[in-house]
């Protein structure tokens, strides 16, 4: 009926529609960066690791019991004399992560239980953020603390008790890393424990159960899955942590489970291999990428499993 006005409307609509399409596509491109980063990580690690595995067989890397990349001194014997067995590094990493988790799990879990089940709202309101301060402290600060305060204390107490403790020990690094992980575990478990329905607790209290009975026999069993998920996430953190171990764990690649000895980890070796003078393409530098690939797969695997578990748990109590 009014063709001219109609046309105008449509035209204006078309112009802005194109502009909007461009904006939307632009946003889509931005969100693809996340994928691009992952691809970038995988490709760069895999490519350099591939170059490494052309010099050192995969089997020797994965199952070798000795790590001594430093022995390749002369340029004409590239990679030939170095020993690139990742197992001593893995042992060190596992040892330190284990110590860290052994410290953080009870402290974090008990803190979370106390805060969710016992603390008055007022107390909870200041303790929770204070605990989370621990998560905001840069790891280099923890490293300094470990090397300067904790390691000497452990060495002195150790030698006082007749043990031979090296100045850099897995115990010092693990202990401090454990402190770092406390808020991580406590706030994740806090979420999980709070998600257990109130009806569960009421049923238990209604039967005359005490709080501890309710917590240990009803709440925690119901939250187990979620707690396991959060512990896995924390473990993945521990494995990938770098600065604390660089500053407090040492460089000695030993196949040992003695927490009083100095051990080295995968992350420490990546840092040592890639800082300082380096020639690209030597087996030594490439080894860092192989370790990193290994580390990436390990943490990613733990993470995917943990997220799946936590997700399933959330659905369960949604």
Partner 1 sequence: MGSMIKILNETAIPVTNPIEKPCILSAKNVDVFYGNKLAINDVSFDIMENQITALIGPSGCGKSSVLRCFNRMNDMIDACKVTGDIRFAGQNIYDPKVDVVALRARIGMVFQKANPFPKSIFENVAYGPRIHGLAKSKGDLEEIVISALKKAGLYDEVANRLDESGTGLSGGQQQRLCIARALAVDPQVILMDEPCSSLDPIATAVIEDLMESMKENYTIVIVTHSMQQASRISQKTAFFHLGDLVEFGDTETIFTNPEYEITQNYISGRIG
Partner 2 sequence: MPDYALNTSENTRRRHIKEVRFQWVGRIAILISLGFLALMFIAISVRGYSVFEQTHIQLDIFFDEAHLDPSGARDPEMLLIADYKPLLTTALQRRFREVQERREKRRLYKILSRGAVFALGEMVQKNPNLIGTSQRLWLPASAEVDLYMKGKVDVSLEEELRRLKNKEINWVNQLKAQGQIKKKFNTRFFTKGDSREPELSGILGAVIGSAFSLLVCFTIAFPLGLLTAIYLEDFAKKTLLTDLIEININNLAAVPSIVFGLLGLSIFLGVFHLPRSTPLVGGMVLALMTLPTIIIAARASLRSVPNTIREAALGLGASKVQTTFHHTVPLAMPGILTGTILGMAGALGETAPLLMIGMVAFIVDVPQGITDVATSLPVQIFLWADSPEKGFVERTAAAIMVLLSFLVLMNLLAVFLRKKLQRQW
Cα–Cα distances (Å) from 110 to 133, 181, 183, 188, 272, in that order, read: 18, 14, 11, 12, 37
Element (H, E) at 83: strand 83-84
Pick the binder of partner 2 from 28, 73, 199, 318 (CB under 8 A): 28
Say if CB 196 and CB 268 are below 8 A apart.
Answer: no
Span near partner 1 by CB under 8 A; candidates 5-13, 142-150, 210-218, 285-293: 210-218
Q: Which two tokens stand for residue 244?
A: 């604390």
- Characterize the bridge pairing of strands 83-84 and 67-68: antiparallel
Residues 211-250 interacting with partner 2 (rule: CB under 8 A): 211-213, 215-216, 233, 236-237, 239-243, 246-247
Write the binding mask 150 to 189 for partner 1: x where contact by CB under 8 A, - elsewhere.
----------------------------------------
Among the listed residues 136, 138, 160, 208, the single contact to partner 1 using CB under 8 A: 208
Residue 95 sits in the site that holds partner 2 (CB under 8 A): no
How far apart are alpha carbons 116 and 134 in whole angstroms? 19
Which residues in 57-86 contact partner 2 (CB under 8 A)? none
199 binds partner 1 (CB under 8 A): yes
Longest dimension (CA), the chain: 101
Inter-residue contact 282 to 84 (CB < 8 Å): no
Contacts of 281 (CB under 8 A, 6+ apart): 51
The residue length of the chain stands at 318
Give the one entry of partner 2, partner 1, none that residue 203 binds, where binding means its C-beta sits below a cut-off of 5 to 8 angstroms depending on kind.
partner 1
The answer to the question of residue 255 lying near partner 2 (CB under 8 A) is: no
Residue 110 C-beta: closest distance to partner 1, Å:
21
User: Residues in contact with partner 1, total (CB under 8 A)?
Assistant: 20
What are residue 84's DSSP bridge partners? Answer: 67
Which 229-258 residues touch partner 1, going by CB under 8 A?
Answer: none
Closest CA to 282 of 64, 42, 54, 46: 54
Q: Does the protein bind partner 2 through residue 102 (CB under 8 A)?
A: no
Which of the listed partners (partner 2, partner 1, none) does 247 bind, with a CB threshold of 5 to 8 Å by partner kind? partner 2
Give the tokens for residue 165. 């403790």
Does residue 148 interact with partner 2 by CB under 8 A? yes
> By CB under 8 A, is residue 136 in contact with partner 1?
no
Q: Are 292 and 310 in contact (CB under 8 A)?
A: no
Closest contact distance (angstroms) between CB of 267 and partner 1 is 39
Q: Which residues bind partner 1 (CB under 8 A)?
A: 120-121, 197, 199-210, 213, 217-218, 221-222
């Amino acid at each position: 009926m009014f063709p001219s006005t109609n046309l105008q409307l449509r035209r204006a609509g078309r112009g802005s529609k194109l502009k909007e399409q461009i904006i939307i596509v632009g946003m889509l491109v931005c969100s693809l960066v996340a994928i691009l980063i992952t691809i970038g990580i995988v490709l760069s690690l895999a490519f350099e690791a591939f170059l490494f595995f052309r010099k050192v067989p995969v089997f020797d890397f994965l199952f070798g019991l000795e790590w001594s990349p430093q022995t390749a001194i002369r340029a004409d014997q590239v990679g030939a004399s170095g020993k690139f067995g990742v197992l001593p590094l893995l042992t060190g990493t596992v040892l330190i992560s284990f110590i860290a988790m052994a410290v953080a799990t009870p402290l974090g879990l008990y803190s979370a239980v106390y805060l969710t089940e016992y603390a008055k709202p007022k107390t909870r309101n200041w303790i929770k953020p204070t605990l989370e301060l621990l998560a905001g402290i840069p790891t280099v600060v923890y490293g300094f603390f470990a090397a300067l305060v904790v390691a000497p204390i452990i060495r002195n107490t150790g030698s006082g008790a007749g043990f031979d403790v090296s100045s850099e020990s897995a115990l010092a690094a693990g202990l401090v890393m454990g402190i770092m992980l406390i808020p991580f575990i406590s706030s994740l478990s806090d979420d999980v424990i709070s998600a257990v329905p109130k009806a569960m607790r009421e049923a238990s209290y209604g039967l005359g159960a005490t709080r501890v009975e309710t917590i240990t026999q009803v709440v925690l069993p119901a939250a187990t899955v979620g707690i396991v998920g959060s512990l896995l996430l924390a473990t993945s953190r521990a494995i990938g942590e770098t600065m604390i171990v660089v500053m407090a764990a040492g460089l000695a690649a030993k196949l040992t489970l003695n927490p009083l000895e100095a051990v080295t980890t995968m992350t420490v070796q990546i840092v040592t291999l890639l800082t300082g003078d380096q020639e690209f393409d030597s087996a030594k530098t490439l080894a860092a990428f192989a370790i990193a690939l290994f580390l990436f797969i390990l943490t990613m695997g733990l993470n995917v499993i943990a997220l799946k578990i936590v997700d399933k748990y959330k659905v369960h109590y949604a």
